[in-house]
Amino acid sequence: MKKNLNMVILDDYQKYFHQMKNDKRLPENINLTIFENHFNNSKDLVYHLKKYNIIVGIRERTRFPEKVINKLPNLNLLITTGLKNASFDLDASTKNNIVVSGTPGSGEGPVDLTWGLIISLVRKIHIEDKFVREGKWGHFIGPSLSGKTLGILGLGHIGKLVSKVGLAFGMNVISWSENLDQISAKKYGVTYVHKETLFSKSDILSIHTKLSDRTTGLVGEKEISFMKPTSYLINTSRGPIIKEQALIEALNSNKIAGAGLDTFDVEPLYPSHPLLHTPNTLLTPHIGYVTKEAYKAYYEGILENVISFLNNNPTRVLNPEVLSKLYG
């Protein structure tokens, strides 16, 4: 008789993964629990997760640093949706003989949301909607995107797609990152510029670089000071790339025109967070990757990972060093 295993899926805000409880493909010896609400501190997290053998984290909503992993004695398989997760400590997992695996499916959702934030922010669509419902008609005169300069911080996969849309709008697209050069940028119709120029010339500056030690705090008081008072800052990448307090101060003093943010230093935002009361902001709850297509791929990937792990053949392993420890 197979040993019963306890499995949990965390942070299922949209209640999407509840259907897995009735999925006949889920092995019968799996006892599945789903938490919809976020655990705000590591003490609560450890308390609620101690009994679980399989834990699924939705992207980077819940962090698994070494201090948490070391206190989960029953954990054998840690799954992240997507194939990268900077909030999972892979080295600590390997030391504790925990397999960490990922799933397919993040896709181009952040591109859609980036442009949703840009257009709504510069044309005040979200505010005009509110006014119309209050019986007020026509308040703002917004700028046209054609002829404006779009700055891309990080011309990777998502950055390239965002720039492509900008070019279709008739925008001048410029970009900077440490590894970018003029030849590479030109292939995509983009002009390479120096970092200071990116901030000083952009009418809309959109962040699409990965979070790392090198990019944490990359956009701070100095960089924001280069921006025009009519410019907008967009972040659908990762919150800590921006020094949050510097941005809040710039918005409160009207040093820039506004910010569209999908990611934050700490998520979810707590009720008294200053950004919730900062003017000229458009905030979304880290939904750049939240599309039906991505979630379907996550769902299927989770099932595949669980089944393959139980068959002693784990798939999409993010810490392959652990395999020799477990399977020889």
Q: Which residues are catalytic?
A: 238, 267, 286
Three-state secondary structure readout of the chain: CCCCEEEEECCCCCCCHHHHHHCCCCCCCEEEEECCCCCCCHHHHHHHHCCCCEEEECCCCCCECHHHHCCCCCCCEEEECCCCCCCECHHHHHHCCCEEEECCCCCCHHHHHHHHHHHHHHHCHHHHHHHHHCCCCCCCCCCCCCCCEEEEECCCHHHHHHHHHHHHCCCEEEEECCCCCHHHHHCCCCEECCHHHHHHHCCEEEECCCCCCCCCCCECHHHHHCCCCCCEEEECCCHHHECHHHHHHHHHCCCCCEEEECCCCCCCCCCCCHHHHCCCEEECCCCCCCCHHHHHHHHHHHHHHHHHHHCCCCCCECCCHHHHHHHC
Question: Pseudo-torsion of CA 29, 33, 34, 40, nearest 10°?
Answer: -130
Question: Which residue type is seen at 257?
Answer: A
Residues 79/102, Cβ–Cβ less than 8 Å: yes
Q: Is 138 left (phi over 0), alpha (psi -120 to 50) or beta?
A: left
Provide the token pair at 137. Answer: 């008609």
Q: Give me the helix-helix angle, 109-123 and 125-133, nearest 10°.
A: 60
